[in-house]
Amino acid sequence: MGRLGATALGAFGLLGASVAGLVALAPGRAAIPGDTLVVGQLAEPKGLDPATVTGANDFRILTQIFEGLTRYRPGTLEVEPALAESWEIRDGGRTYEVRLRPGVRFHDGTPFDAEAVKFNLDRMLDPKHPQAGTGPFPLAHFFSAVKRVEIVEPLVVRLRLDEPHAPLLANLAYPAGLMVSPAAVRRLGKGFSRAPVGTGPFRFVAWESERQVRLEANADYREGRPRLRAVVFRPIADANARASEMLAGGLDLMVEIAPDSVATFREDPRFALHEAAGPHLWFLILNAREGPLKDRRARQAVNYAIDKRAIVDHVLSGIATVPAGPISAAFGPASDPELKPYPHDPGKARALLREAGAEGAEVTLLASDGGSGMLEPIAMATAIQSDLAKAGLKARIETFEWNAYLARVNGGLKQAAAAEMAWMTSDPDTLPSLALKGSATPEKGGFNAGGYENPELDRLLDDARAEQDPEARAALYRRVDRLVHDEAPWALVASWKQTAATRKEVTGFSLQPSFLLDLRGVAKQ
């Protein structure tokens, strides 16, 4: 389903040939068309149906093709209208009445309206929906509070919630809330993931596996035609290969720069280096269900054993900070400012392992060979393995390709003691609710791969979701921050500062706290 007909391919034939030849050309000789942006990403997308994927690598493509009812205001995590024109919140947060923008059409010419909104949400939430089989929908949890979607008028939709859910508007701005064409999904079924249809600034043209995803400007985009004619996303898994391709002139934009390449792009006048903080967390999921780390003391020992500062300074070349808790400082008052990271203390770690009866235990650490937001996963796993050995824990590393890794970990650790993971989030609720609540274990469709369960944490998260007052809600998340720090279901290692490089000819680009790409105003001189 990923290949289009001869007419569509013909229009991009020259572009495809140019991109294919970039690797072989000398620096500065690559002939990328002046109205085309070539983006180097770290992996092949898993899919292009926004309801079915979870990785920022895929999201960066999806947000060019699709829009949600809401979106993040540029440069912030604040929500503003997108396909929604306005909304009213009623019944103490149990009813959202949303008025849609008139005149919007999907790329296939079908109208975006209240029927389309109902289709999108019902497809994820109703197991009896005719297109429920196009899933699974791993982030449907974002909308689990929505018990009914009602069509009030052709451009007015009402969301009935079973309880107040403060993160809803932010979740609708997240890629899981992007609106797909109902007609295209009905026609293509699961094949929609290879031929996506949205309302966004760029239209899908073709997906050539292991080579590129190609998009073209949507001339009918409601905010005006983008300045670029086309965008090409190229998967280049090896970070050094991505950097080499950028230096050779084969890319216009490169995301997720390897730490040892940052200085190169900072100092080379041909490029602009972009850096920005955001709500990113790199951590080890610890197996709280079985094995030696079921004991809280052993999990705390892992946190004391890892020299996080050394990893940030030497493995990551300073492009990250050491986190104290799961709630990013990017969320302001929701993060506990008094909380401090676990200090590096191998002696204390060994003592805690001894108390837990885990000293000398042999454990398995699952690692990815790459992946969105994963920084330097192999080098970090090796450093962690060494640190654990010094504290009396013998770790064996098992490595997987990124998409295989996600399948392995998201199904539960299953006899592994720990697994690397990274999340970029848009609301303080997202990460703890999807990956730490007792109701979010893999058996229940969530991402709590370590099987940690704590009724107090669940209650705090439920209360915070229902709280409409921002200050009271932030206070609840500060308690979540401290509880997770103390209980140590994870080993919190690094919070990444986003990096990207653009050629000097690229204008109008900036990194976003959401870790998504906004290419609407980007151009090339």
How far is residue 136's CA from residue 53's CA, in Å, rounded to a whole number?
9
How far is residue 343's CA from residue 300's CA, in Å, rounded to a whole number?
11
b/e 400-412 (16+ beta carbons within 10 angstroms → b): bebbebbebbbeb
pLDDT, residue 181, reads 98
Q: Give the CATH number of domain 280-496.
A: 3.10.105.10
pLDDT, residue 16, reads 36
In degrees and rounded to multiples of 5, residue 276 shows phi and psi of -160, 140
pLDDT, residue 13, reads 31
Q: CB–CB of 142/171 below 8 Å?
A: yes
How far is residue 342's CA from residue 18's CA, in Å, rounded to a whole number?
50
Angle in degrees, 0-180, between the axes of helices 377-391 and 346-355, rounded to the nearest 10: 70
pLDDT, residue 497, reads 86
* DSSP states along 258-275: -GGGHHHHHH-TTEEEEE
pLDDT, residue 6, reads 28
**Distance set, CA 377 to CA 228, 284, 426, 457 (Å):** 34, 11, 23, 29
How far is residue 320's CA from residue 331's CA, in Å, rounded to a whole number?
17
Nearest to 143 by CA among 50, 61, 278: 50
**Helix, strand, coil content of the chain in percent (nearest 5):** 35, 20, 40
Q: CB–CB of 149/121 below 8 Å?
A: yes
Nearest to 415 by CA among 292, 517, 506: 292
Q: Give the CATH number of domain 67-186.
A: 3.90.76.10
Give the β-pairing of 362-368 and 394-400.
Answer: parallel
For the chain, 525 residues long, give each residue's pLDDT as a single digit of tens. Answer: 332 222 232 232 333 333 333 333 334 445 789 999 999 998 899 999 999 998 889 999 999 999 999 999 998 888 999 999 999 999 999 999 999 999 999 999 999 999 999 999 999 999 999 999 999 998 898 899 999 999 999 999 999 999 999 999 999 999 999 999 999 999 999 999 999 999 999 999 999 999 999 999 999 999 999 999 999 999 998 889 999 999 999 999 999 898 889 999 999 999 999 998 889 999 999 999 999 999 999 999 999 999 999 999 999 988 899 999 999 988 889 999 999 999 999 999 999 999 999 999 999 999 999 887 898 999 999 999 999 999 999 999 999 998 899 999 999 999 999 999 999 888 899 899 989 999 999 998 889 999 999 999 999 999 999 998 889 999 999 999 999 999 999 999 999 888 999 999 999 999 998 889 999 999 998
Segments making up each domain of the chain, as ranges: 1-65+200-277+497-525, 67-186, 280-496
How far is residue 188's CA from residue 175's CA, in Å, rounded to a whole number?
20
pLDDT, residue 95, reads 97
pLDDT, residue 297, reads 98
pTM reported for the whole predicted model:
0.76
Give the β-pairing of 253-255 and 36-41.
Answer: parallel
How far is residue 431's CA from residue 413's CA, in Å, rounded to a whole number?
18
Local structure of 65: helix, strand or coil = helix
Question: 1-65+200-277+497-525 is classed in which CATH architecture?
Answer: 3-Layer(aba) Sandwich (3.40)
Can 1-65+200-277+497-525 and 67-186 be said to share one CATH topology?
Answer: no
